[in-house]
Amino acid sequence: MRRSRPPSSFPRGDKTEARRAQGRERVLVAADPLPLAWAAALDVLARRRAAGEPLDRVMAAVARERHLGPRERRATADLAFGWARHAGAVDDLVAAAVRHEGGVAPRRRVLDLAAVCLAAVAAGLDIDPRVLAALPGSLRVLVDDAAAAGLALPVSLPAWLVTRLRGAYPDVVLELLAALERPAPTVLAIDRRRTSLGAVTLALQAQEVTTTPSPLAPTALRVVSGRASLAALPPSLRGAVWPMDDGSQAVAHAVQAQPVDRVLDLCAGGGGKARLLVSLGATVVAADIDAGRLARSLPDGAQGVVADGTRSPFLPGSFDRVLVDAPCSGTGTLRRAPDLALRLDPEQLPALVATQRALLTQALALVKPGGRVVYATCSLLPEENEGVVDAVVGDRRDVVRLPAPAPFPARGSLTPPACDGFFVAVLQRTA
């Protein structure tokens, strides 16, 4: 039942509006003097504005329609997600330059181009001369001055979220906010039944990719330099390696499943944790409310069940371990999905918290006496983490909270830059 993103707080726009946006894109494609990746990035911004959809979904649609190859797709994503990371700051700089110049403001696509250029400067990306030539004089000067000054930009976060983070992480908030200004590294998960970290490291070296083992999970390789192509790995390794943040892998390891254990992944979502649990030898049942998503993500060796985790069809006490990777605000993944900050709405949180409490309550009923429930989120917000555990466990005498296993601190929160933000609570049913 896990959702990778919260409901959008933006008005989605009707289908007619989105089709019109696509039509305008097609007209622009033929005569666009910009390099392909830059033109595609502007398409992504325009369609996101028209349809109100998450940036990764819009990015995938534009990549299909423009038939982008892997290189162009990566370049487009770098530009579009770089803009999203600093949207508030770069849009303000462009608006100030336009006001200072006076006269008629350029059309929206030109303003977007200038904003993307500023974000690219902050990220240290090269700007093609054709891109600068497409900017009017005042905006070209703005970008040139930014490049000469070594522009540094803050991450774009709503004020309410910054306030919550300062309250929740007073000792590390500056380091946390600085980490959100940078893209997350690529991390790979390894199925150690089929291969080893060393074998994958050597295979990636042939692609001029440098990796290092992660200290957070024994199955994780961090990419230090280069761009890893999993499709270019030797056939014996394909399917044994997949992208997965090392903090997310640490959540799966926190289940501490043994080969004799029957494990329920109550909110299987994209299936990464179920896949890792299967690779560790556990008998895994993966449940999700979305039948299509479950069909796409169910790993080999796991049993799939379409089910609403808040109203589980399973018998009480039928699992040794239950993982509740609960749907949440996703604030721990802001390095990977920076546009999420543009869509977050604090008024959505009470509904998410209610779902999280229902899921954890159901999980505690499904685990055997002596068994364990691991409650996890990719949220940085206390009300989705400690708040949920405290509300559900409360004064229950049949549940004991255990210290979270390494690499999590005892109370269970990992934050960027160590990895994406994750929270884990380990609960044990007593007899």
Could you list the active site residues? Answer: 378
Q: Which of 154, 153, 119 is closest to 45 using CA atoms?
A: 119
Task: Say if residues 322 and 374 touch (Cβ distance below 8 Å).
Answer: yes
Handedness of CA 298, 288, 347, 414 (dihedral sign): negative
Distant-in-sequence contacts of 95-101, Cβ < 8 A, 24+ apart: 97/138, 97/139, 97/142, 98/138, 98/139, 100/138, 101/138
- Rounded distance, CA 39 to CA 84, Å? 16
Answer whether 394's CB lies under 8 Å from 361's CB.
no
Torsion of CA 34, 36, 38, 44, to 10 degrees: 120
